[in-house]
């Protein structure tokens, strides 16, 4: 498809999610080439970004996950170079990468989120009091990591101390959130419109890195088993949550239910995984789109 010219698929990078990004990128390169597009893998960890212009690339398909690729950094660099790219812009990516800032915006927008507390590295805490404030069991998350890296649960003071120590290995700021009992859903967005909802089911305590990328018993239900009214409400919630962060092109919103069955927004993903186990391709398939059609549609939404 000559309308796109020469396309660089940005993959790899140097974040904690490098291996997942490499798998995503290789799948995207293959699909784009199968669709007749002149696509080439480009790893910024090995090649200076200036080579994008030197090698005559017309646009970039970004599948760099995590810091550097999903936090507005690469988006700003591509904008400066004048290379159109897929997905959201600098502001949306910077906001979505930061779970604390994302949550603050959703709260200010009147959108449903779980109760939480932000903890800074070095801060003195009463672990028991914090657990009491948040219902007795919590999820601990580094503010700026993806793929569930550095996340763990805690139900007593000793566990909370250990969970915070783990999270602080990845970030200086950590989100401590009330434990949600599920079920867990994810909603992919394409062209700012929600695709069919996926319900996640794992034998793990939560949908962690292993459950996402390595476990063979994680189940994905699409259709999600919701009544039409519930499905439409959840899709609409995801669209509003995505738009509130200035999201564009494509992305994914993760949601869980509390014990009363109310939806609670978890986080936004502006460069979701595109591996063989990834969720956006699964949702697109349920909407009648092949993987090739999906990547071409994402590329078509690329902007400078």
Catalytic residues: 17, 147, 278
Four-point Cα dihedral 243, 193, 43, 36, nearest 10: -150
Q: Which of 163-167, 276-280, 283-287 has the lowest mean pLDDT?
A: 276-280
55-79 in b/e form (b: 16+ CB < 10 A) is eebbbbbbbbbbbbbbbbbbbebbb
**C-alpha–C-alpha distance, residues 257 and 193, integer Å:** 22
228 assigned binding-site residue: no
Is the pLDDT assigned to residue 275 strictly greater than 90? no
70 assigned binding-site residue: no
Is the pLDDT assigned to residue 173 strictly greater than 60? yes
Query: Which CATH code, of 2.40.30.10, 3.40.50.300, 3.30.1490.20, 3.90.1150.140, is assigned to 116-178?
Result: 3.30.1490.20
Is the pLDDT assigned to residue 42 strictly greater than 60? yes
Under 8 Å between Cβ of 179 and 153: yes
191-216 residue pLDDT tens = 989 999 999 987 666 655 555 555 56
pLDDT number for residue 213 = 52
Say which residue, 143 or 246, is predicted with more confidence: 246
Under 8 Å between Cβ of 40 and 70: no
Q: Nearest CA to 286 among 217, 224, 232?
A: 224
pLDDT number for residue 1 = 57
**Where are the domains positioned within the chain?**
2-86, 95-111+181-300, 116-178
pLDDT number for residue 303 = 67
Confidence band for 18, pLDDT divided at 50, 70 and 90: very high
Residues in a beta bridge with 252? 188, 269
269 assigned binding-site residue: yes
pLDDT number for residue 146 = 60
Please name the CATH architecture into which domain 95-111+181-300 falls: 2-Layer Sandwich (3.30)
Helix (H, G, I), strand (E, B) or coil at 17: coil
Kindly list the distances between the CA atom of residue 2 and the CA atoms of 6, 36, 224, 299, in Å, as whole numbers in the listed order.
8, 8, 38, 13
**Mean pLDDT of the 274-279 span:** 83
pLDDT number for residue 277 = 74
Say which residue, 9 or 201, is predicted with more confidence: 9
Please name the CATH architecture into which domain 2-86 falls: 3-Layer(aba) Sandwich (3.40)
Count Cβ atoms below 10 Å from residue 297 Cβ, excluding itself. 15
Q: What is the pTM of this model?
A: 0.90
């Amino acid at each position: 498809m000559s309308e796109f010219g020469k396309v660089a698929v940005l993959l790899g990078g140097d974040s904690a999610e490098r291996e997942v990004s490499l798998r995503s990128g290789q799948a995207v390169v293959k699909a784009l080439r199968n669709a007749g597009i002149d696509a080439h893998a480009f790893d910024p960890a090995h090649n200076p970004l200036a080579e994008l212009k030197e090698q005559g690339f017309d646009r970039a398909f970004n599948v760099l996950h995590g810091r550097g690729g999903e936090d507005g950094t690469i988006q700003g660099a591509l904008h400066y170079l004048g290379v159109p790219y897929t997905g959201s812009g600098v502001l949306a990516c910077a906001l979505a990468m930061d779970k604390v800032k994302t949550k603050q915006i959703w709260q200010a927008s009147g959108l449903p989120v779980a109760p939480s507390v932000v903890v800074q590295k070095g801060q003195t805490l009463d672990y028991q009091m914090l657990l009491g404030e948040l219902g007795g069991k919590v999820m601990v998350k580094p503010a700026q990591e993806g793929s569930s890296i550095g996340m763990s649960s805690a139900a007593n003071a000793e566990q909370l101390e250990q969970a915070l120590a783990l999270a602080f290995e990845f970030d200086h700021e950590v989100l401590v959130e009330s434990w949600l009992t599920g079920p867990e859903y994810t909603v992919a967005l394409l062209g700012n419109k929600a695709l069919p909802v996926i319900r996640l089911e794992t034998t793990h305590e939560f949908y962690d890195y292993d459950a996402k990328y390595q476990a063979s018993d994680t189940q994905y239900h699409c259709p999600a088993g919701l009544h039409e009214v519930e499905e439409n409400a959840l899709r609409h919630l995801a669209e509003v949550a995505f738009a509130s962060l200035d999201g564009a092109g494509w992305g994914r919103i993760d949601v869980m239910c509390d014990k009363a069955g109310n939806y609670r927004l978890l986080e936004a993903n502006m460069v979701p995984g595109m591996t063989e186990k990834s969720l956006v391709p699964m949702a697109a398939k349920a909407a009648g789109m092949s993987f090739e059609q999906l990547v071409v549609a994402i590329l078509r939404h690329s902007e400078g």
